[in-house]
């Protein structure tokens, strides 16, 4: 891992922000709700030994830069469980994109929309540009819109839970990744791989 990543992880541990430990429970953070919200989209190995919780915004250029590396590292590892936390904090279009991606989850198309939106370059992406990407993603857009209408309150509730969790954790921006006991951001492929390994070392040492 690059030195800045090692320092970041060390600083997180020193600050006591290892999210899977009992002190956070005492501060009112429901770790199980973060890891196992049944409405939150997941990917990877559902029985993986390391869980990565990703707080993301579809107008965040740093999210877009790190997302492919996370997907590649998790896929090659084979034992990573991914939990996606749509946290649209940058623009109104960010909220639109998050709602559309979550609506696509009802047809099993979250990753298609997620990947399509993450692939749009730049920041300040409009709703119109997002819809173009969604239409090209392969999901059934008519069903997506119907599911958005039918499940709008559930989607809003999930986004509210994500926001409350981020606030409780003291997150300051996107992307933020919870990797085993670590909280970090903007890792590259090598950084993700080393973070997975370090999370396993910490688990084995308990």
Domain that holds residue 102: 3-205
The average pLDDT across 90-107 equals: 97
Residues found in the chain: 206
Cβ atoms of 110 and 104 within 8 Å: the answer is yes
| pLDDT attached to residue 28 | 64
Segment 101-158, tens digit of pLDDT: 999 999 999 999 999 999 999 888 999 999 999 999 999 999 999 999 999 999 999 9
Domain tally, the chain: 1
Segment 152-181, tens digit of pLDDT: 999 999 999 999 999 999 999 999 999 988
The average pLDDT across 44-58 equals: 97
**21 pLDDT more than 80:** no
Q: Which candidate, 86, 76, 75, places its Cα nearest to that of 44?
A: 75
**77 pLDDT more than 90:** yes
Report the side by side order of strands in the sheet with 182-184.
Answer: 42-44, 80-86, 50-56, 176-179, 182-184
| pLDDT attached to residue 22 | 30
**76 pLDDT more than 90:** yes
More confident residue, 43 or 20: 43
The average pLDDT across 48-72 equals: 96
**88 pLDDT more than 60:** yes
Q: What percent of the chain has pLDDT over 70?
A: 86
| pLDDT attached to residue 27 | 56
Q: What is the CATH number of the domain that holds 121?
A: 3.40.30.10
Segment 183-202, tens digit of pLDDT: 888 789 999 999 999 999 99
pLDDT grade for 16, boundaries at 50, 70 and 90: very low
Cα dihedral 155, 58, 183, 172 sign: negative
Q: Which two tokens stand for residue 76?
A: 């090659």
């Amino acid at each position: 891992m690059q030195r800045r990543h090692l320092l970041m992880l060390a600083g997180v541990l020193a600050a006591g922000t290892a999210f899977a430990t009992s002190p956070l429970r005492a501060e009112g953070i429901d770790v199980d709700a973060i890891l196992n919200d049944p409405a939150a989209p997941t990917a990877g190995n559902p029985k993986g030994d390391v869980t990565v919780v990703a707080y993301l915004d579809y107008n965040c250029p740093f999210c877009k830069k790190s997302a492919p590396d996370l997907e590649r590292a998790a896929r090659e590892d084979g034992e990573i469980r991914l939990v996606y936390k749509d946290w649209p904090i940058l623009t109104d279009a960010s909220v639109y994109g998050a709602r559309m991606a979550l609506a696509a989850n009802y047809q099993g198309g979250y990753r298609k929309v997620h990947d399509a939106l993450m692939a749009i370059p730049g920041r300040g992406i409009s709703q119109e540009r997002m819809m173009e990407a969604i239409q090209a993603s392969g999901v059934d857009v008519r069903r997506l819109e119907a599911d958005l209408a039918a499940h709008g309150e559930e989607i809003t509730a999930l986004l509210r839970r994500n926001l409350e969790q981020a606030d409780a954790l003291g997150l300051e921006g996107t992307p933020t990744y919870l990797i085993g006991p670590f909280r970090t951001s903007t890792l590259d492929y090598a950084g993700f791989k080393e973070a997975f390994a370090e999370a396993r070392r910490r688990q084995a040492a308990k």
